[in-house]
Chain A
């Protein structure tokens, strides 16, 4: 579905940064592909390239067999319909002056009350949400609205960029499980980007670990987590606070 070959991205301004250093991987249709990395790993650059919002300095990116790395903006229309992005901060990506029905139908380019109702149901919001404004919803509900908007044009690929990082703990799990459900129900391919290993493990079947612009490890989620091969992956797993391990330590200490 998505293929990257030896992708580099260099920025010259504001300072020289080699954000991606020869990244290659392929995401198959129906996969739930996680990308994990810390700040400076290049994961945000990768999202921009996959969404056609930026171009690589060198290397190839193809979507469904078609090269997108060199296409002019006017020829990227097919990508805008087939690939949608859900961002971290729903408040920053929802226009506060628009009603939910207009926000959700915006990618359709026309009013479609039936489709809006269908999408609201799919993301677990009440039908009367359509007439309200973003500020009238909680953080978790706002993220449901952005997911509904992303699904509106019936995309085949959904990119979720840190979709639960701004949410409270009790809401986070609901949104993660919703994304997993929707991926199944709509037969989507999911690319899920996060700094949080535990979150990726819950949603994805495959994970790519990035560090300083390079892909250091790629494999099935369980395999990478239970038997990490690269030293950096091991460090990352060891450093991440793990509730189960801490609880086991507390219980053992009595």
Chain B
């Protein structure tokens, strides 16, 4: 298993928000984490990344390629973030530096983890921008984030996330803020990006149609717990937990 999460909990004081979740994501596997707001799906991902908000404490274990992440010193975590594990969020504008040209942002994340010359990193950055199908990547590398559309910014985020061929990519509602025609393109890029690198994918979404398209296995979260898990086709076509059934019924707008 690339990622192995065991009895992971997150507490705000004594109040549990994530209650002992356990799951694994194998090399090249695509696992969906679904649930509604407040279910604990984003907190689970933040705990794995070591990016929980102030005041929230994780317990339990999350091992990435065998090495423990929970309780690891921040120095080690920041060394691993962007190299072994990468993340794409819903709102790319908050994750990009507004004052730095996008090409340089991609190049910095390459150089930070791999070293090498500035020029080589910038060349690699332009190749990555090309790989996420941004038009005229050399020109675009010189743009600032605000000069790009939402879909273009999310492609830049994906280029940064994939820059160092991470073992694990976590996507948290990566296309929720995008137009549907752009969403379809970005989902295809995520799929091809992880397939080329055999990256393990943990994909968080509230949209069952999207999870059905992207993931081979699904975890359903409700009230801080994983209430159901299995292959995407089993969970979505033969749900066993009441909450999963309710979620499916509510998602199908064509039904009465």
Contacts and interface: CB of A to CB of B under 8 A. Distances in A.
A230 to B, nearest CB: 14
Contacts of B183: 239, 241
B213 A169 contact: no
A168 B206 contact: yes
B36 A168 contact: yes
Interface string A188-206: 0000000111110110000
Interface stretch (A22-30, A60-68, A245-253): A245-253
A38 interface: yes
A247 B212 contact: yes
B206 A251 contact: no
Given A170-B247, A246-B213, A254-B233, A201 B253 contact: yes
A139 B150 CA distance: 26
A82 to B, nearest CB: 30
A243 B233 CA distance: 12
A221 to B, nearest CB: 12
Interface of A: 38-39, 139, 168-173, 176, 195-199, 201-202, 235-236, 238-247, 249-251, 253-254
A241 B36 contact: no
A196 B253 CA distance: 11
Most buried by A among B37, B250, B253, B254: B253
Task: Return the 5 tightest CB-CB contacts between A and B, nearest first.
Answer: A241-B209, A246-B212, A38-B179, A250-B233, A168-B36
B interface bracket (residues with beta carbon within 8 Å of A): 20 to 34
A236 B209 CA distance: 15
A240 B180 CA distance: 5
B251 interface: yes
B233 A173 contact: no
A172 B209 CA distance: 15
Contact of A253 (B36, B182, B233): B233
A169 B232 contact: no
B36 A170 contact: yes
Most buried by B among A169, A236, A240: A169
A236 to B, nearest CB: 6
B236 A169 contact: no
Given A169-B251, A201-B253, A241-B207, A247 B180 contact: no
A237 to B, nearest CB: 9
A139 B213 CA distance: 28
Given A176-B253, A243-B209, 18 more contacts: A38-B181, A168-B37, A169-B36, A171-B250, A195-B180, A196-B180, A199-B253, A240-B180, A241-B183, A241-B209, A241-B212, A242-B209, A243-B208, A244-B254, A247-B212, A247-B237, A249-B212, A250-B237
Interface in B229-254: 232-233, 236-237, 246-247, 250-254
B212 A243 contact: yes
21 contacts: A38-B179, A139-B37, A169-B206, A169-B247, A170-B36, A170-B247, A197-B180, A198-B253, A198-B254, A202-B254, A236-B180, A239-B181, A239-B183, A241-B180, A242-B209, A243-B251, A244-B254, A246-B212, A246-B236, A247-B236, A253-B233
Nearest to A242: B209
A38 B71 CA distance: 43
Contacts of A243: 208-209, 212, 251-252
Contact of B233 (A241, A242, A244, A251): A251
Given A176-B253, A241-B210, A251 B237 contact: yes
A198 B251 CA distance: 10
